[in-house]
Amino acid sequence: MSLTTRSAVLTAPQGAVEVRSVDIAAPGPRQVLVRMEACGVCHSDLFVSGLAKLARTPLTLGHEGVGRIEAVGEECSDWRTGDRVGITFLGSTCGACEYCRSGRERFCPKQMNTGYTLDGALAGYALADAAQVVRIPEHLDPAVVAPLCCAGWTAYGALREAALSPGNSVAIFGYGGLGQLALQYALAQGLKAAVSDVSQMKLELARTAGAFLTTGGQDSGKTLQKQAGGVDAAVVFTNSIAAMQQAVKSVKRTGTVVLVGLTMQELTLSVTEIILKGIRIVGSFLGTRADLEAVIRLAGEGGIQPAVQKFALEEAPEVLAQLDRGEIAGRAVIAF
Ligand code: ZN
Ligand code: ZN
112 CA distance to ligand 2 middle (Å): 10
Beta bridge partners of 256: 233, 280
Of 80, 177, 138, residue with least CA distance to 299: 138
- pLDDT of res. 177: 83
Residues with Cβ within 8 Å of residue 161, at least 6 apart in sequence:
235, 256, 258, 282, 284
**Long-range pairs of 258-262 with CB within 8 A, sequence gap ≥ 24:** 258/158, 258/159, 258/161, 258/162, 258/233, 258/234, 258/282, 258/283, 258/284, 259/283, 259/284, 260/154, 260/155, 260/158, 260/178, 260/235, 260/236, 260/284, 261/174, 261/236, 261/237, 262/47
Asked if 208 and 201 count as a contact pair (C-beta separation under 8 A), the reply is no
89 CA distance to ligand 2 middle (Å): 15
275 CA distance to ligand 1 middle (Å): 33
- Residue 53 is classified by DSSP as -
**What is the rounded CA–CA span in Å between residue 191 and residue 211?**
10
pTM of the predicted structure, to 2 decimals: 0.93
97 CA distance to ligand 2 middle (Å): 4
Asked if 64 and 150 count as a contact pair (C-beta separation under 8 A), the reply is yes
Neighbours of 177 (CB within 10 A): 27
- pLDDT of res. 1: 62
65 CA distance to ligand 1 middle (Å): 10
277 CA distance to ligand 1 middle (Å): 33
Domains contained in the chain, CATH given: 3-136+306-335 (3.90.180.10), 154-283 (3.40.50.720)
Question: What is the SS3 assignment for 132?
Answer: coil
> What pLDDT tens digit does each residue of the chain (336 aa) get?
679 999 999 999 999 999 999 999 999 999 999 999 999 999 889 989 999 999 999 999 999 999 999 999 999 999 999 999 999 999 999 999 999 999 999 999 999 999 999 999 999 999 999 999 999 999 999 999 999 999 999 999 999 999 999 999 999 999 988 999 999 999 999 999 999 999 899 999 999 999 999 998 889 999 999 999 999 999 999 989 999 999 999 999 999 999 999 888 999 999 999 999 999 999 999 999 999 999 999 999 987 888 889 999 999 999 999 988 878 877 899 999
**What is the rounded CA–CA span in Å between residue 38 and residue 145?**
9
